[in-house]
Amino acid sequence: MALVPVKEAGSMSFQVLVLTPTNYPVWAVKVKAIMDANGVWETVEPRALGAEPDEKKAKQALAFLFQAIPEEMVLQMASYTDPKQVWDGLKTRYLGVDRVRAARLATLRRELENMRMKEGEAVDDFVVKLNGIASKVRSLGYELEEVDLVKRLLDSMPKPFFQLVASIEQCFDLETMLFDEAVGRLKAYEERLKAKEKTEDIQGGLLLASHEKSHGCKHCGVGSSNRDDFGRGRGRGRGSVRGRVGNERFRDKSHVKCYKCGEYGHYNNECPKLKDEEANLIEEEPTLL
């Protein structure tokens, strides 16, 4: 982008971007600051009704504005002899007439009021969006106070931040709180929430592992205290299992699910269907012979 060097009579120099179709809000802020620093902004505003500006300063301001706008626009405004005419003409062209500007401002203010931070959204990301809309509102000539932005930020917080927002509103004066201060407190609380969630996830994993260990195999339903008996029963075959049933200690098997028949109350090796299959096998052996 083209830059226009501007040097004050003293020792300080300034540079401003040439006006483009998309940079008017920033351009206007920089041009106003430079003209004010050089003592010629008074030729644009504020001016009393009917007051005439200093002729020399008016010429300086006009020359500066013509250097800071595109050449094709200079030709369109060449007939202007008052820097205020040039400034107001640019403002009308880029911001629209008052009625259009008022409609755009109402839309942006409504969007600002309806903004809500979603749960899981980062504070930094939401602040960027909030600042973006606030900048557009200010570019249309509406003075958005710091306290309004702070209150809008706090009112937009999701449920996990309610406790912190209530504490800030009770312990601090929102009329004097800076927006950056409010953002800093929210970010610090966000870090604590993340650390807490991480700790809870770790503790939950340890608790789940401990629970599974205390209840033994989740597939066969055998508890850790019965694992040895179960291993011996499987290793010795069906006969040994049937032989030790009478001497087996009483256990509550109401929570045990048999994965052969899908019923509760017995293990796979005690399934009635298994016994029926063995009986059928014995009956079929003479026939096969």
* pLDDT tens readout for residues 152-175: 999 999 999 999 999 999 999 999
Amino acid in the structure at residue 251: R
Q: CA-to-CA distance for 55 and 75, rounded, in angstroms?
A: 22
Tell me which DSSP letter residue 3 carries.
Answer: E
**Between residues 137 and 52, the one the model is more confident about:** 137
**Between residues 207 and 72, the one the model is more confident about:** 72
**Between residues 278 and 22, the one the model is more confident about:** 22
Averaged pLDDT for residues 28-43? 90
At 225, list the tokens. 């205290």
Tell me how far the alpha carbon of residue 142 is from its chain's centroid.
26
CA angle 189, 190, 195 (to 5 degrees): 95
pLDDT score recorded for residue 190: 92
Beta-carbon contacts of 98 under 8 Å, excluding residues fewer than 6 positions away, are none
Q: Which of 211-225, 229-243, 272-286 has the lowest mean pLDDT?
A: 229-243
**Between residues 213 and 16, the one the model is more confident about:** 16
pLDDT score recorded for residue 5: 53
Model confidence at 234: pLDDT above 80: no
Give the pLDDT confidence of 252-279 residue by residue, as tens digits.
Answer: 777 777 877 878 787 777 788 776 665 5
pLDDT band for 50, please (50, 70, 90 cuts).
Answer: low
The percentage of the chain sitting over the pLDDT mark of 90, rounded to a whole number, equals 27
pLDDT score recorded for residue 13: 66
Averaged pLDDT for residues 44-58? 76
Averaged pLDDT for residues 33-60? 83
The percentage of the chain sitting over the pLDDT mark of 70, rounded to a whole number, equals 69
**Between residues 237 and 29, the one the model is more confident about:** 29
**Between residues 100 and 242, the one the model is more confident about:** 100
* 104 burial via Cβ count (<10 Å: 0-12, 13-18, 19+): middle
Q: CA-to-CA distance for 17 and 5, rounded, in angstroms?
A: 9
Instruction: Name the residue among 127, 129, 50, 107 with its Cα closest to residue 82.
Output: 50
Mean pLDDT of the chain: 76
pLDDT score recorded for residue 102: 81
pLDDT score recorded for residue 98: 63
Q: Which of 14-18, 141-145, 227-231, 247-251 has the lowest mean pLDDT?
A: 227-231
Alpha carbons within 13 A on the beta-carbon side of 271: 17
Residue that the structure tokens 């600051």 belong to: 33
Instruction: Name the residue among 122, 191, 130 with its Cα closest to residue 155.
Output: 130
Model confidence at 227: pLDDT above 70: no
Continuous H helices in the chain: 24-37, 55-67, 71-76, 83-95, 98-114, 123-139, 146-155, 162-171, 179-214, 227-244, 272-288
